[in-house]
Amino acid sequence: KLVGHMVVGYILVVMAGIRITDMHGILGVYELPETVSIGFSFFVYVVLVNAFNLIDGVDGLAGGVGLIAALAYGAWLYLAGDVALSLLALVLAGALLGFLVFNTHPARIFMGDSGSLIIGAIIAVLAMKVVDHDTSRLPVQLREVAAPLFAMAAIAYPLVDTLRIFTYRTIKGASPFAADRNHIHHRLMDLGLGHRGTSGVLYLYAVVIIALSLLTRDWHPNVGLLV
């Protein structure tokens, strides 16, 4: 699967030119050299595709998180004047909303690798487009929001969980790709929240982080990143 992700990543980043060229001051970084931009964008794509695959362990979780991210990106891109990409995001949101009717606990259908990987791929493309899009047509208040922070906020849970689980497995000497029950959603399940409770808590987390990225727009990007 990883080889397949890398092939698709190469097609999107190198051949189609879908990449991040500017970090908008995050960690003091602004415009990226072309080679760095290609390498970083390729890495972002592979990470995000796998991140959505890794959180697909609770009924309704990956679909709901993907829905929230798609709505956030769709709204941002629409306000930025990119109707085509906004439509792509909203079509994904609509598809996920219909899917969630049957995927919430007790699930009658399941996403599987094919579903989570496709969602991750589309979200990765949208995230990179949000970061790299011209912000001049955004409302004045939104122009102050660091685009990379907003893009990360919309997918905060997949990013946090993937970073946490890869670090944990590496420290334990296990393969970062080995399956286990140490994901945050598994821990919440073990606390007795159940499928619906776990998904609900993580939906709320996603919305709160997105709201914080907007409310902290006047802060320095590095401070916003810490928040």
Three-state SS for 22? strand
Distance CA 158, CA 65 (A): 8
Contact 20, 41 (CB under 8 A): yes
pLDDT for position 41: 96
Q: Count of domains in the chain?
A: 1
What is the pLDDT, as a whole number, of residue 111? 87
Which ranges of 55-183 would DSSP assign to H, the alpha helix? 61-79, 83-103, 112-132, 140-143, 147-154, 156-171
What does pTM read for this prediction?
0.92
The pLDDT of residue 125 is above 80: yes
pLDDT at 91: 97
In this predicted structure, the answer to whether residue 179 has a pLDDT above a threshold of 80 is: no
Full domain range(s) for residue 25: 2-226
Confidence of residue 219 (pLDDT cuts 50, 70, 90): confident
CB atoms within 10 A of CB 220: 12
Checking if the pLDDT of 227 tops 70, the result is no
- 22 forms beta bridges with 31
Helix axis angle for 34-54 and 2-10, nearest 10°, is: 140
